[in-house]
Amino acid sequence: MTNHWVMDYETMANCFVAVFEHYKTDEQKIFVIHEKTNDFNDFITFLEKNISNKERHISYNGLGFDAQITEYMLAAKDEWSEYNAKEITYEVYKLAQHVINKQSSREWLDYYEYNMQIPQLDVFKLNHWDNAAKRSSLKWIQFSMRWKNLQDMPLHHGDPIYKKEDLDMIIDYCINDVNSTKEIFKRSIDQIKLRKSLTTEYKINLYNASEPKISKELFLYFLTKKTGWKKTDIKYSSTQRSTIDVSKILLPYIKFNNKQLIELLDKFKSKIIDPSKTKGGFNASIKFHGVKTDFGLGGIHGARSSGIYKTNEDMMIMSSDVTSFYPNLAIRNKWSPAHLPKEAFCEQYEWFFNERVKIPKSDIRNYVYKIILNSTYGLSNDKYSFLYDPQFTMQITINGQLSLLMLYEMIMDKIPGSIPLMQNTDGLETLIPKKYKEKYLEICKEWEDITSLNLEHDSYRKLILADVNNYIAVHDWKRVERDEYNKLKENPHNLIKQEKGNFYHSKVKCKGRFEFQNLPLHKNPSNLIVPQALYHYFLNDVTPEKYIENNKNIFDYCIGKKIKGNWKFEKRWIDKEYKTEDLQKTIRYYVSNQGCKIVKVNKGDGREIQTDSGKWLLTLFNAYEKKEWSKYNINDKYYLNSIYTEIENIAGPKTKQIKLF
């Protein structure tokens, strides 16, 4: 059996711990270097066996830390074999601080993936949790995947370890991190198989590549094939711009009839963009047909006031999205980053789109081409990418939102009684009289002819709308075969029904704070009881009280918080006398009838912020403990308050108010 190892290191002032667990079995290897134990030679022998057998190390941020320590220790093995444990741990601790300081100051690390002796698989990197928008520590991912032991390092790394119980505690902590990393590895297995397949096919090491990096590397690969240029000639190229004149990049078909929209277009035309300051570089709002719609350099966003909008005998909700909107804007208009050969870029980009259309979704290439199509737009605004040309980005985003606004105006002008509900980046939702459905589709076809883009249409039975980023959309019933119906029936959150021997399914899309299923691990899954109860209230007429009474999953009630910088969490409670206790940087808790307060305290100026203000008391739950349900002592009123606040925001105050306090 192939051996690969999930691993983690702890580098303390006078102690080094290395834990390895086989990626498929429970076999463990634990190495300790401490004043009374020196496993250095055994540890080096194990690493050398990894090298000779081409065994991979699987880690969380291993490329940035653990693998750096590995390479340093392998390089120093002959010299250090003569050292005692105290000398080795001193050197390792110095190395660890050196690596941490380099990371903190964003300097290049000493060892790159390509010259590491032991191949690495870093689940932190491949999941792109090193990206600013998704940045997540292992502790946060432990919270997100409901890990039983959410434990921070129990001792400060600079404190020397003398007691056996402290050493055992560090080893247990390291084992816990390895076990949770192994769970992330299992959950990432499809992504890992994808990267293995791409690495084999294209002879490019993509094992630790994020999706944008896969896109960048493969687009580069295909462009070099198409142009005959050297990889380095393309890889280190870009287009730097000091300004972008919006009037010169607008598509000629962008036109409006409404005075307010014409004024908005003129405002865009007069804009000179500073590419270094695109965030917040342009803001405009209009109120068009009762909907406040916002514009920027990113996209269009607008929604009607919160409420429940339904299809009835006379009206229907139409939803229309532009097919691969941003990629197709570039493809249809022959746009490319200015430093790249225009014809080659456009042909290659269009090839990815056309090939993806031909290939079934079950084929791995479909997903790969999707990554390339979607990431290219973002990479064109990344100054470290060979696709960098901010004008290419602005051409897409500005023309995109104005093109969509044209469709919005056309529908409002030509369909009497139409009511706009939402406009968001690549599509819109509109309530229209049913008798005008064909007219609606004709207008959409006219827009497609003008723009050379394609629209995909659907219809909703119901839209439960809080705002443009937070809603539940319930699609019309669609007939399915018995086999698919039986599969759908296994998930209680699917809407299904049987009528006259036929089987039907209604797809439900939950967005923003209404999401609760299959959340990406970097997202915050706190208080999932709330969106779950809202789902069943609005779709299945289950009262929040009934849902909470029946939900006995303690993790659905848990809340996660993380802290950084010069702040700390402090627990405060009364047990005969007033007590305080400093907490770890990532915490998990739930709201209970009895318990403590948790306060965020600035260690510099003493500022304090309660995690849950008011009278609410909390129970820390960093370590899972199974109890009889009543023993958790959950404060149902807190969760009901959150649920009913959301219901009333959408549906208005209830005639009969529940007494929550």
- DSSP letter for each residue of 28-89: EEEEEEETTEE-HHHHHHHHHHHHHTTPPEEESSTTTTHHHHHHHHHHTHHHHTTS-HHHHH
Q: What is the pLDDT of residue 2?
A: 82
Is residue 597 over pLDDT 70?
A: yes
pLDDT tens-digit readout, 467-510: 999 999 999 999 999 999 999 988 888 899 999 889 999 999 99
Q: Are 188 and 126 in contact (CB under 8 A)?
A: yes
Q: What is the pLDDT of residue 657?
A: 41
- 188 lies in some domain: yes
Q: Are residues 94 and 177 in the same domain?
A: yes
Q: Are 226 and 344 in contact (CB under 8 A)?
A: yes
Q: Are residues 189 and 320 in the same domain?
A: no
Contacts of 167 (CB under 8 A, 6+ apart): 15, 32, 34, 161
Q: Are residues 46 and 176 in the same domain?
A: yes
DSSP states along 564-575 = -SSEEEEEEEEE
Instruction: Tell me how far apart the alpha carbons of residues 401 and 198 are, in angstroms, rounded to a whole number.
Output: 35
| Residue ranges with strand state E in 444-507 | 455-467, 470-475, 478-480, 495-499, 502-506
- 510 lies in some domain: no
Q: Are 349 and 376 in contact (CB under 8 A)?
A: yes
Q: Are 398 and 254 in contact (CB under 8 A)?
A: no
Q: What is the pLDDT of residue 655?
A: 35
Q: Are residues 113 and 259 in the same domain?
A: no
Q: Are 466 and 512 in contact (CB under 8 A)?
A: yes
Q: What is the pLDDT of residue 489?
A: 87
- The residue among 202, 237, 264 that closes a domain is 202
Instruction: Tell me how far apart the alpha carbons of residues 620 and 636 are, in angstroms, rounded to a whole number.
Output: 17
Q: Are residues 162 and 21 in the same domain?
A: yes
Q: What is the pLDDT of residue 659?
A: 37
How many residues does the structure list for the chain? 661
- 371 lies in some domain: no
- 230 lies in some domain: no
Q: What is the pLDDT of residue 159?
A: 87
Q: Are 309 and 423 in contact (CB under 8 A)?
A: no
Q: How many domains in the chain?
A: 3
Instruction: Tell me how far apart the alpha carbons of residues 15 and 167 are, in angstroms, rounded to a whole number.
Output: 8
Q: What is the pLDDT of residue 242?
A: 95
Domain containing 193 — which CATH number?
3.30.420
Q: Which residues does residue 601 pair with via DSSP β-bridges, in sequence order?
A: 568, 608
* CA angle centred on 542, ends 536 and 547, rounded to 5°: 80
- The residue among 461, 483, 501 that closes a domain is 461
Q: Are residues 186 and 37 in the same domain?
A: yes
Identify the CA nearest to 86 among candidates 160, 147, 139. Answer: 160
- The residue among 461, 477, 501 that closes a domain is 461
- Residue 615 is encoded by which pair of tokens? 């009278």
- 434 lies in some domain: yes
Q: What is the pLDDT of residue 654?
A: 58
Domain that holds residue 419: 248-273+284-330+398-461
Q: Are 66 and 57 in contact (CB under 8 A)?
A: yes
Scan for tokens 């076809």, then name that residue: 445
Q: Are residues 454 and 586 in the same domain?
A: no
Domain containing 426 — which CATH number?
3.30.70
Write the burial class of residue 230 (CB in 10 Å: 0-12 exposed, 13-18 middle, 19+ buried).
exposed
Q: Are residues 541 and 652 in the same domain?
A: yes
pLDDT tens-digit readout, 361-380: 888 889 999 999 999 988 99
- 219 lies in some domain: no
Alpha-helical runs (H) found in 270-420: 325-332, 342-358, 364-379, 390-414
At 636, the amino acid letter reads D
Scan for tokens 């049987």, then name that residue: 498
Is residue 81 over pLDDT 60?
A: yes
The pTM for the full model equals: 0.93
- Residue 300 is encoded by which pair of tokens? 């269009």
pLDDT tens-digit readout, 280-294: 888 999 999 999 999
User: How far, CA to CA in Å, does 211 sit from each of 118, 218, 301, 379, 447?
Assistant: 23, 11, 26, 11, 33
The rounded radius of gyration (Å) of the Cα atoms in the chain is 28
pLDDT band at 1 (very low <50, low <70, confident <90, very high): low
Q: Are residues 587 and 455 in the same domain?
A: no
Q: Are residues 417 and 556 in the same domain?
A: no
Q: Are residues 449 and 539 in the same domain?
A: no
User: How far, CA to CA in Å, does 57 sit from each of 4, 23, 53, 314?
Assistant: 6, 9, 12, 62
- 41 lies in some domain: yes
Q: Which residues does residue 496 pair with via DSSP β-bridges, in sequence order?
A: 505
Instruction: Tell me how far apart the alpha carbons of residues 102 and 575 are, in angstroms, rounded to a whole number.
Output: 45
- 359 lies in some domain: no
Q: Are residues 68 and 156 in the same domain?
A: yes
Instruction: Tell me how far apart the alpha carbons of residues 245 and 132 are, in angstroms, rounded to a whole number.
Output: 29
Q: Are 472 and 443 in contact (CB under 8 A)?
A: no
Mean pLDDT of the chain: 94
